[in-house]
Amino acid sequence: MNLSVFWVDRTRPRPAMGHHFHRLRRRPRNAATARAVVAEVVGTFILVLTIASAVIGASLAKPIAGAPYGSLTVAVAGGLALVVAVAVLGPVSGAHLNPAVTLALAVNRRFSWKSVPVYLASQLGGAIAAALAAWALFGDRARVVVHLGASFPAVGTGAWQAFVAETAGTFILVLAIIWAVIDRGAPPAFATVTIGAALATAILSSGPISGAGLNPARAIGPMIVAGKFTDWWVYVTAPLLGATLAATLYDKAFRAGAGPEPAREQ
């Protein structure tokens, strides 16, 4: 989810889209990596804590005022949290905040493989920290009853149904990210809103089936802290597959300049 194209001087030639770490490397390498790590940890923490808190609040019927949260709140919370994190942290790390996004960009040569391990570790660390924070905020019932907002297949839903839902939901999210940000370089306000809306859409479509993990870090972090790993493989492999399919399809079919050639005059 690299937004570095937003913060460059538009009067200068833009670097190739494959070089997502270009701006960071203008600074000393170690300093750039440290900043990116902190940004990914903080951004993932914000995203996961917000979604987990919405899930816990709805499940335990803890209102702010009036009626308690409903399912729609989870989608709204996730979308808004992603908008905030991307807008604030995009210039620093690209605001991937999701191992599926990082790996899909690397597979399609849009992100350096050398940076992948530190991004994945940062995202998982941020998710675990968010789950610990949710436990501290909501108490033991949140861990025992709601499993700190971890995603699991709905009652009566099989693991493979959840796998399809997670794949499709992540596909929607990553396709929107690539279109709005990485390839098109849309204006910052439009791009951040598009990404948040895409996450909300993906949560609404997949949530009733799989609980809308859509992000291995967001799913596994709460599972680790809660100590419950039901169908964990679904929430690791399906988002990776959906993200890779989205990035590959976009490159092959929708990438700017990849359309059919205009018909020649006879």
Interval 164-206: pLDDT, tens: 999 999 999 999 988 877 666 667 888 899 999 999 999 999 9
Fold of 4-254: Glycerol uptake facilitator protein (1.20.1080)
Q: Both tokens of residue 207?
A: 């949530």
Does the pLDDT value for residue 15 go beyond 50? no
How many CA atoms are closer than 13 Å to the CA of 66, on its beta-carbon side? 2
**30 confidence band (pLDDT: 50, 70, 90):** low
Q: Is the dihedral of CA 237, 211, 159, 130 positive or negative?
A: positive
* Cβ–Cβ < 8 Å for 112, 106: yes
Residue of 15 and 221 predicted with greater confidence: 221
pLDDT at 253: 83
Q: Both tokens of residue 123?
A: 């995202």
- Report the 10 Å Cβ neighbour count for 223: 23
Does the pLDDT value for residue 56 go beyond 80? yes
Does the pLDDT value for residue 18 go beyond 60? no
Range in 24-38, 136-150, 229-243 the model is least confident about:
24-38
Does the pLDDT value for residue 26 go beyond 70? no
pLDDT at 33: 84
Q: Both tokens of residue 225?
A: 């802290």
* Cβ–Cβ < 8 Å for 108, 248: yes
**19 confidence band (pLDDT: 50, 70, 90):** very low
Residue 246 to residues 9, 44, 141, 240, Cα–Cα distance (Å): 29, 21, 38, 10
CA 26 to mean position of chain CA atoms: 26
Q: What percent of the chain has pLDDT over 70?
A: 82
- Phi and psi of 245, rounded to 5°? -60, -40
**Domain layout of the chain by residue ranges:** 4-254
- C-alpha–C-alpha distance, residues 242 and 170, integer Å: 5
Interval 85-133: pLDDT, tens: 999 998 899 899 999 999 998 988 888 899 999 999 999 999 999 999 9
Residue closest to 143 by CA, chosen among 203, 59, 68: 59
* Average pLDDT of span 232-245: 96
Residue 60 is given by DSSP the state T
What is the amino acid identity at position 211?
Answer: G
